[in-house]
Amino acid sequence: MTKRIAVLPGDGVGIEVVDEAVKLLNLLNELDPELKFEFDHFDWSSEYYLKHGKMMPDNALDVLKEYDAILFGAIGDKRVPDDVTVWELIMPIRKNFNQYINLRPVKLLKGVASPLARDAPIDFVIVRENAEGEYSNSGGRLYPSTEEEIAIQNTVITRKGTGKAAKFAFDYAAKYGKKSVTSATKSNAIIHSMKLWDDAVNEVAAQYPSIELDSYYIDALAAYFVSRPHDFEVVVASNLFGDILSDLGSAVVGGLGLSPSANLNPDGEFPSMFEPVHGSAPDIAGQGIANPIAQIWSAALMLNHLGREDLGEVVVAAIEDVLTKGEVRTPDLGGQSTTSEMGSAIREAVQKQLVKEG
Ligand code: ATP
């Protein structure tokens, strides 16, 4: 299986953690004769913007379209406004490649103590609607720089878009033997768009009688993520709600250094993109101490997506093995190890497991 992967490290710690994920995928290339990755690196980033006045070249999407998947680090640099980095790089890829699902696992890995410190498994995924919702560029500002200035930012909820996200969530639940799907809503206060969200989710739920649908208002759900995160299996949420819930979920299972995500085009017409939940972490960038686990786990999600769930499982098991031993820990996990020490330890654990199986 030859798969062409476009690698976009981006900014800040993205560059450091992507390097470790690519090293791990190269090791899998060596150990598994059926797997062949071809990597092309692209330096599209804030640095690129400062040189060329744009985040990526005009034909970037045509170039990326030819790849089987995109491994993405992070974007963000204080020299470039956030709306430029986001709307000129991440959003065009997500929207043009119809990556309408953002899948974000929230799993307490073996070897990590949850800040909540209750010894029960936490293992759910957030299915975030990724193409519309609150992150739309529909709107504008009137009467700029006057006292009467008005900003209007429209939320776009469609029956089709919500239905596709809900269908993905229920299909995921069915595939992995989960009993429930939780929907994040706020239809008591946001009475137009969120009511349509509820209608579309209910319509899909009716087609899956053996899976229960629980709908919670977003504020209550945020509290439940802290008070009883063990109860969730699959959570489906609009773009903004899903974004906020996944940072909260990350905090519950040990922090952003551990949380992966997949921007999926489930229909397979365009490449999907795999990136950590965290950003470019400017406060620690360049010090070689970023935790590469979120990025490496994102690469494992890429392996799942490309049909090698067996290898995806090996990588997650290797991460848990290293965390359980506890000898290698980056500062976010209370240790003093470097990014590259954590990357090497995970590669060693992968190698051990594959050689043992082999
Ligand atoms: P950006 O503007 O790119 O979103 P940010 O600082 O607002 O950057 P994050 O990059 O997500 O947001 O960082 C939030 C916090 O999490 C920071 O304190 C950062 O150091 C920490 N963090 C993020 N990624 C990692 C990582 N891989 N390892 C350790 N800590 C991390």
Q: Please report the sign of the dihedral spanned by the C-alpha atoms of residue 330, residue 249, residue 127, residue 227.
A: positive
pLDDT in tens, 142-154: 999 999 999 999 9
Residues 6+ apart with CB under 8 A from 49: 55, 80, 84, 85, 88
26: nearest Cα among 273, 346, 257: 346
What confidence score (pLDDT) does residue 324 get?
94
What confidence score (pLDDT) does residue 118 get?
67
Provide the pairing of β-strand 272-276 with 69-74: parallel
In this structure, are residues 216 and 185 in contact, taking their beta carbons and an 8 Å threshold? yes
Q: Which atom of ligand 1 lies closest to the CA of 247?
A: 11
Mean pLDDT, the chain, rounded, equals 94
Q: Which atom of ligand 1 lies closest to the CA of 332?
A: 29
Element spanning 22, H or E: helix 13-31
% of the chain at pLDDT higher than 90: 87
Record the tokens describing residue 313, joined without a space.
Answer: 């499982």
Quote the ligand 1 centre to 294 CA distance (angstroms): 11
Report the pocket of ligand 1 as residue ranges, CB < 6 Å. Answer: 13, 17, 74, 76, 256-257, 278-284, 290-291, 294, 332
Mean pLDDT of 300-316: 96
Q: pTM of the predicted model, to two decimals?
A: 0.87
Burial 77-110 (b: 16+ CB within 10 A, else e): beebeeeebbebbbbbbbbebbbbbbbbbbbbbe
Residues in the chain: 358
Provide the pairing of β-strand 260-264 with 150-153: unpaired
Cα 215 from Cα 353, distance rounded (Å): 41
Q: Can you tell me whether residue 273 is helix, strand or coil?
A: strand
To test the pocket of ligand 1, the residue of 278, 284, 336 to mutate (highest count of ligand atoms within 8 Å of its CB) is 278
Record the tokens describing residue 183, joined without a space.
Answer: 């929907």
pLDDT in tens, 91-119: 899 999 999 999 999 998 988 877 777 66
Mean pLDDT of 258-270: 94
The residue type found at 51 is: K
Element spanning 176, H or E: none
Element spanning 305, H or E: helix 293-305
What confidence score (pLDDT) does residue 133 get?
95
Quote the ligand 1 centre to 12 CA distance (angstroms): 9
Q: Which atom of ligand 1 lies closest to the CA of 283?
A: 20
Quote the ligand 1 centre to 213 CA distance (angstroms): 33
Nearest residue (by CA) to ligand 1, atom 2, is 76
What confidence score (pLDDT) does residue 90 get?
92
pLDDT tops 90 at residue 121 = no
